[in-house]
């Protein structure tokens, strides 16, 4: 057992969940996407949060960050993009309490932010969560 932290949940089998994370890496003027991969048959994926960081572009705009594959449908966040590649966008850090489950067993959860536009040099998204086995 991990000292000082609560245990991860368990599935019907009594097996402890496995932490998962995914990152887009740094992208320039392109979509940044992080995918919590499907865990396999009879495994439920949960997203417990994500972080987005980026910088401006040649022209100001507003782009969408979406989370797909979660129960209840797509979640959308609007990201204002300032003028100037050296102008930082305030980080967007979201923690879900409780975590959000995938829409089905063996379903991936994807966090994606559209291209921030021409002249953009930095955009990145990271997603984290866990997977729970529901049968052996």
Reported as a pLDDT band with limits 50, 70 and 90, residue 12 is low
pLDDT digits (tens, 9 = 90+) for 54-98: 999 999 999 999 999 999 999 999 999 999 999 999 999 999 999
Q: Which domains does the chain have, with CATH numbers?
A: 20-133 (2.60.120)
| SS3 state of residue 6 | coil
Beta bridge partners of 67: 75, 111
Cα torsion angle, 52, 30, 85, 122, sign: positive
Reported as a pLDDT band with limits 50, 70 and 90, residue 16 is confident
Omega within 30 of 0 (cis) for the link into 28: no
Say if residue 24's pLDDT is above 80: yes
């Amino acid at each position: 057992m991990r000292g000082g932290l609560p245990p991860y949940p368990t599935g019907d089998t009594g097996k402890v969940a496995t932490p998962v994370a995914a990152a887009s890496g740094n992208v320039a003027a392109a979509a940044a996407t992080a995918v919590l991969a499907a865990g396999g048959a009879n495994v439920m994926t949960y997203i417990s949060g994500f972080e987005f960081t980026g910088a401006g572009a040649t022209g100001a705009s507003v782009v969408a960050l979406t989370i797909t594959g979660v129960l209840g449908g797509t979640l959308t966040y609007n990201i204002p993009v300032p003028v100037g590649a050296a102008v930082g966008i305030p980080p967007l850090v979201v923690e879900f309490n409780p975590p959000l489950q995938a829409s089905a067993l063996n379903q991936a959860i994807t966090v994606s932010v559209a291209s921030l536009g021409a002249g953009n040099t930095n955009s990145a998204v990271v997603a984290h969560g866990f997977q729970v086995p529901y049968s052996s």
